[in-house]
Amino acid sequence: MNNLLGDWHSLMGAVQHWLAGGDPYGAFVMADGSAYEAGWFAYPPPVLLLVWPLAFVPSLLSGILLQLLAVAGFEYWSRYVLGQMSLLWFVLWLPFVQGLLIGQTTLLALVLLLWAATFYQHGRDRLAGLLLACAILKPQVVVLPALCLLAMALYDRRWYMLGTFAFITIVLWSGIAFVAGPQIYAAWFNGLSAYRAALPDRPLLFPPFGVLLGLMALFLWYRYGRGDPFGLALLVNTLIYPMSVIYIAIGVAPVVMRWRPQTPWYPLVLSWLIPLFFFQLPRTAETIAATTQLVVATALFAALLPPLRWRSR
């Protein structure tokens, strides 16, 4: 239970350290004695401006509420856009479960991005620009699809969307400099240097199973997604991200759901069995990479394999 919502707990610890006058991007010790090295908190500075009120709420409570909000936003998007439930994904597919249990904000950023795209499609440009400006604060999750949306808006001359995005971005990024001083950006760059040093440097498309993932993704796009540049950008963004932990793969799920709404569920169950097999092997960079890649592959298999058909007597 000590790791339940652990990522969110440490995020709140960095914010509390900042409110107490410390450097959130440096090393800090929380009230419960948990110590974190420099670079553990690597979010862009505007995140501090958005989440500081939550620092006065118990992190377990705020973390649970945040995850419930993200799940509800994803489920409502699935019902509104696709006309289907998504809750089974949160039970059957390991990346969703892992991200929720450790308190990751990846799903929230993904939800903001998906709703920005939905509002853009329905002509609600100001809301689209607002949500996109917030989603981009987790750039590793959304940068390519966000750029795709901005390029589409520029091509379509959707000035309200572009203007709102620019205005909110300027307010957030200049607002934190006004509150914390411009030195907060120097601290962020130093924190990013420490953060990058701890990250794996191989994307999902690298060996041992990267070629398999790439071919599956290419076939999926060719068969179902050739008219969806936004979905393609989200898929590519996910597959080129460096391998670290399994939850990074959740960006694949909405792409699969968009391109093949009637997704069979049985391949998703394999995402739980694959780690059980690899945990019996020596823990090396290769086995960690293989585990993550094959778990991601289960979602692509779900889009490509036929549904099970039961014969009734």
Residues 187 and 250 in one domain: no
Residue 248 lies in a domain: yes
Residue 36 lies in a domain: yes
End residue of a domain, out of 198, 221, 241: 198
Residues 219 and 187 in one domain: no
Residues 178 and 86 in one domain: yes
Residues 52 and 153 in one domain: yes
Residues 187 and 227 in one domain: no
Residue 311 lies in a domain: no
Largest CA distance in the chain: 73
Residue 60 lies in a domain: yes
Residues 270-289 have a mean pLDDT of: 82
249/169: higher pLDDT = 169
Residue 94 lies in a domain: yes
Residue 131 lies in a domain: yes
Residues 44 and 135 in one domain: yes
pLDDT at 73: 97
68-75 long-range contacts, Cβ below 8 Å, gap at least 24?
69/108, 70/105, 70/107, 70/108, 70/111, 71/100, 71/107, 73/108, 73/111, 73/112, 73/115, 74/107, 74/110, 74/111, 74/114, 74/254
pLDDT at 35: 86
The domain containing residue 170 runs over which residues? 6-198
Q: How many domains does the chain have?
A: 2
Helix axes 266-278, 94-102, angle to 10 degrees: 70
pLDDT at 240: 87
Q: Look over the chain and give the mean of its residue pLDDT values, rounded to a whole number.
A: 90
Residues 84 and 161 in one domain: yes
Residue 204 lies in a domain: no
Residues 170 and 41 in one domain: yes
71-76 long-range contacts, Cβ below 8 Å, gap at least 24?
71/100, 71/107, 73/108, 73/111, 73/112, 73/115, 74/107, 74/110, 74/111, 74/114, 74/254
pLDDT at 310 over 60: no
Residues 226 and 121 in one domain: no
Distances (CA, A) of 163 to 106, 152, 274, 291: 26, 14, 46, 43
Structure tokens at 7: 């990522």
pLDDT at 245: 76
Residues 169 and 300 in one domain: no
Residues 45 and 165 in one domain: yes
Least confident interval from 37-41, 231-235, 296-300, 306-310: 306-310
pLDDT at 1 over 60: no
Residue 201: pLDDT band (50, 70, 90) is: low
pLDDT at 38: 84
Using one digit for the tens of pLDDT, what is the confidence trace for 93-117?
Answer: 999 999 999 999 999 999 999 999 9
198/238: higher pLDDT = 238
End residue of a domain, out of 169, 198, 227: 198
Residues 175-193 have a mean pLDDT of: 92
pLDDT at 143 over 90: yes
pLDDT at 312: 45
Residues 195-218 have a mean pLDDT of: 79
- Candidates 98, 96, 125, 128; CA nearest to 113 is 128
End residue of a domain, out of 198, 228, 263: 198
